[in-house]
Structure 1
Amino acid sequence: MDTVGQLVDRRIVDVALARLSDEPVVLLEGPRTVGKSTALRELAQRLGGEVLDLDDPATRDAVAADPSTMIQSDSPIYIDEYQHAPAVLDAIKARLNRSTRPGQFVLTGSARHESLPAAAQALTGRLHRMTVYPLAQAELEAARPDLLGRLLAASTAGESRASTTSRQDYLERLTCGGFPLALARRSESARNRWFDDYIRLTLERDVRELSKVRQARALPALLERLAGQTAQVLNTTAAATATGIDPHTARDYIRLLESVFLIQLLPAWGTTLTSRSANAPKIHVLDPGVAARLLRLTPDKLARRDPTSLTQLGHLLETFVVAELLKEASWMDGIAGVGHWRTYDGVEVDLVIERDDGGVVAFEVKAAGRVPGDDFRGLRKLRETLGDAFLAGTVLYTGERSYTFEDRLHAMPVDRLWTAE
């Protein structure tokens, strides 16, 4: 039985196994300590083959010195943290020139592939990328709900059992996040120390490995300002001004922070639907636990009923739900795109997920315990705009009941993302 600090996203392992039957190279990329190495070892245990851990200096030096020799094997080769010796990609490319049989290599990386100049071109067309996110709540509960899958299949249930998740439980889940090593900490103070160390080391080590940062001291302050924008439309100028750097530099640093999986930009979706569709991305801190720590938000602070606390709770809950749905989408085939929809006249939908055939499901997130009709405004407008391509719109809220509000519009408790009906 795994301890929480050793948990791995089992569905990522299962999906990777399936993809290896078709792809010569699979790349698992995501934040440090998210479980990529654990997944890699599990794949090696199931399929056989050798693991090369490039976090180990001796192994890294050997691979950098003679990558071709190090990857000579009839069995699959597993390379952990390949970005430490990107020259290995040229050796992999040379081997693939001789044979493109599936299942030859599995790589892991803690930086987005396109952020490495040499790596971005070496395996174009031969590399299948999979994002490994922090653990989903469903993984923590050992559950396999299929809310997104059923909505994409235009299949939803009517009434279901009432949610038993308390408001306090939601607040604990928001501030704990999904990193296995953070979840393994037994106290809030110990977990906060882990978050502080994780953020500091990522900024000091991973960001600097990717780029020569001219104003490194500004990075922590910029990240905190961006965390304050989580679940909101990105305002680079405001973050730059508050940090004391110019907007051009801020844009470069935002790309770096996204490259090391501290933040993610959710693109505008449906910019051609109407002339009023906006095209600015929303920003989310990748893990809500990291966001909460950057903003110094605790369950007690979020439990307050003052306007500031309620606003912060709303933003953090949206980041949490978007992360959970993107994790579920990452396990699925047939996803054409994800994004948020917003018009210049104030109509918005928090998350839109589109199938390959153009079918769309959409989500709004509300921190309240009830859903008034006006909360369906954006979903109703999107349904009207898309017609039959609109499969379902769901308001996820902190109340108890699931119900259909009107045609293809539903309200469901947030915990339907990890609990069965």
Structure 2
Amino acid sequence: MRELPDLVPRHAESVVCEALDDTRVVLVNGARQAGKSTLTRLAAGRRSNAVTRLLDDPATLDAAKQDPTDFVRHEDLMVIDEIQLAPELLRPIKVVVDLDPTPGRFLLTGSSRVLALRDLPDALPGRMEVIELWPFSQGEIAGEPDRFIDAAFRHGPEISHSSSLRRRDYLERLVIGGFPEAVRRSPRRRTAFFDSYLSTLIERDVLRLASIERRGEMFKLLRLLAGRAGGLLVPGTLAGQSGIPRTTLVRYLELLSTVFLTKTIPAWSSGQTRRAIGTPKLAFVDTGVACHLIGQDPVRLGEPGGAAGSMVENFVVMELARQLTWSEERGRLYHYRTKDKVEVDAVIETPDGRVIGVEVKAGATVRAEDLAGLRNLAGTLGDRFIAGFVLYTGQQTLPFGDKFRALPLDALWRLAP
């Protein structure tokens, strides 16, 4: 991997600037240490009279709580960092933008899913756009286009790509993950970062959001979840394995999603009602964190009994989730699983009903039977099915019929539309 420059261009910057041009309030939501403050500073730098308020500063936070109405008074763009620390600011912000509906009045950041906070007042309906910022994508790290989704919908099975990367190269990437601080560090120092990051997140954010009876339970659950990354999220099963009561465990799972440690991938089906009751899959927002929790480096991951399969799947799914925040094609991310346990790791559906399917293989070879889930999905969808891809750790594009291709995994970030 290349050495990172001091400032890595983010694909989301253009999305944020575009939103500020026509929306009164823009919220950038994402994990701590993902680069939200840097991104918003760059976006605000385009406005000569912008001001920034950092709620991590105790004096600034106190001022926000003491007089929220005066705090948000400003004639141009105001950036408020970590808005979840002072949700009482949202009502005065609503008043300001109702009196003056000029676009680009407030740029907010949050390290929790602000709209999910229980003590949140009126959530600015119709006045606020929410943009998710994830840790670095592989394209951002490598300086590549990151447009696989757009290329897949535009060109379908005509895509062709070759790669020089091998299986070990991919395992190294997913162990590093995408947090800027982790990407820049050596393996030993990266371990220290992950330890500190998780401890701070649990102590600072999770415990602030809810009363946790036993702190150790949360770390135990995190390690259990990391070992099940890419699997179905069944609270009853997890409760039995962890010894945590089911109602408590469901609350913990909600908290981990709220602070952007985990993400659920809903089940796809041909009917909206069935989607709502389908079992979701679990993904970790960052595979570096997940690998740290299970204690596996690239060598251990690649050994028999290692977690390469589940971690490579998690890696691909989250790269797709990142891309959906900036791709031209608007789509939603699902997984597919029939009652007969025929599966597709990732399904992306656009609002007009077009679909691509992505199966993930941690190995360097692909067999015809590896496409069983994709063929099943194609049969269900008919003409709505654009193409099915197996992303694998080999180096060549392999055809498997009219609508199916196996592609080297780095096609995810190296393809352009």
| Shorter-chain TM-score tier | over 0.9
SS in 2 for 1:47: coil
Is this contact kept in 2: 1:263–1:284, CA < 8 A? yes
Partner of 1:102: 103
- CA apart distance, 1:175: 0.2
SS in 2 for 1:340: strand
2: CA distance, partners of 1:315 / 1:368 = 12
**Could you say if the C-alpha distance between residues 339 and 6 of structure 1 is closer, same or farther in structure 2, counting changes exceeding 3 Å?**
farther
Give deviations 1:327-348, integer Å, cap 9, x for gaps: 1111135524211111110111
Residue among 367, 388, 401 paired with 2:396: 401
Partner of 1:82: 83
Give deviations 1:83-140, integer Å, cap 9, x for gaps: 1111110110111221222111110000002331233633123221111111001001
Partner of 2:26: 26
Partner of 2:134: 133
Partner of 1:374: 369
Pairing 1:318-397 to 2, within 5 Å after superposition = 318-397=313-392
- For 1:380, the aligned partner's letter is R
- For 1:408, the aligned partner's letter is K
Is this contact kept in 1: 2:167–2:362, CA < 8 A? no
1: CA distance, partners of 2:362 / 2:265 = 20
Partner of 1:296: 295
2: CA distance, partners of 1:72 / 1:275 = 47
Partner of 1:168: 168
- For 1:419, the aligned partner's letter is R
- CA apart distance, 1:238: 2.9
Partner of 1:210: 209
Unaligned runs of 5+ in 2: none
2: CA distance, partners of 1:5 / 1:111 = 28
**Could you say if the C-alpha distance between residues 329 and 120 of structure 1 is closer, same or farther in structure 2, counting changes exceeding 3 Å?**
farther
- For 1:228, the aligned partner's letter is G
2: CA distance, partners of 1:244 / 1:131 = 33
- For 1:134, the aligned partner's letter is P
* 1:315 maps onto 2:310 in alignment: yes
- For 2:72, the aligned partner's letter is I
Partner of 2:14: 14
Stretches (4+) displaced over 3 A:
2-9, 154-160, 273-278
Number of residue pairs the alignment of both structures matches: 414
* 1:91 maps onto 2:86 in alignment: no
Partner of 2:223: 224
Is this contact kept in 1: 2:268–2:275, CA < 8 A? no
RMSD: 2.1
- Percent identity over the alignment? 38
Pairing 1:159-308 to 2, within 5 Å after superposition = 159-160=160-161, 162-186=162-186, 188-270=187-269, 272=271, 279-304=278-303, 306=304, 308=305
2: CA distance, partners of 1:51 / 1:370 = 52
- CA apart distance, 1:158: 4.6
SS in 2 for 1:406: coil
2: CA distance, partners of 1:277 / 1:197 = 37
**Could you say if the C-alpha distance between residues 8 and 23 of structure 1 is closer, same or farther in structure 2, counting changes exceeding 3 Å?**
farther
- Which structure has the higher relative contact order (CA within 8 Å, separation 6+)? 2
Is this contact kept in 2: 1:29–1:108, CA < 8 A? yes
* 1:417 maps onto 2:415 in alignment: no
**Could you say if the C-alpha distance between residues 105 and 6 of structure 1 is closer, same or farther in structure 2, counting changes exceeding 3 Å?**
farther
- CA apart distance, 1:68: 1.9
2: CA distance, partners of 1:393 / 1:277 = 24
Unaligned runs of 5+ in 1: none
2: CA distance, partners of 1:236 / 1:199 = 22
- CA apart distance, 1:150: 1.5
Partner of 1:71: 72
Is this contact kept in 2: 1:6–1:180, CA < 8 A? no
1: CA distance, partners of 2:275 / 2:103 = 46
2: CA distance, partners of 1:314 / 1:281 = 18
Give deviations 1:339-364, integer Å, cap 9, x for gaps: 11111101111111111111111110
- CA apart distance, 1:273: 8.2
1: CA distance, partners of 2:197 / 2:274 = 43
Partner of 1:150: 151
Could you state the TM-score of these two structures normalised by the residue count of structure 2?
Answer: 0.94
- For 1:262, the aligned partner's letter is L
Is this contact kept in 2: 1:263–1:283, CA < 8 A? yes
Could you state the TM-score of these two structures normalised by the residue count of structure 1?
Answer: 0.93
**Could you say if the C-alpha distance between residues 341 and 364 of structure 1 is closer, same or farther in structure 2, counting changes exceeding 3 Å?**
same
Partner of 1:112: 113
- For 2:278, the aligned partner's letter is N
**Could you say if the C-alpha distance between residues 395 and 33 of structure 1 is closer, same or farther in structure 2, counting changes exceeding 3 Å?**
same
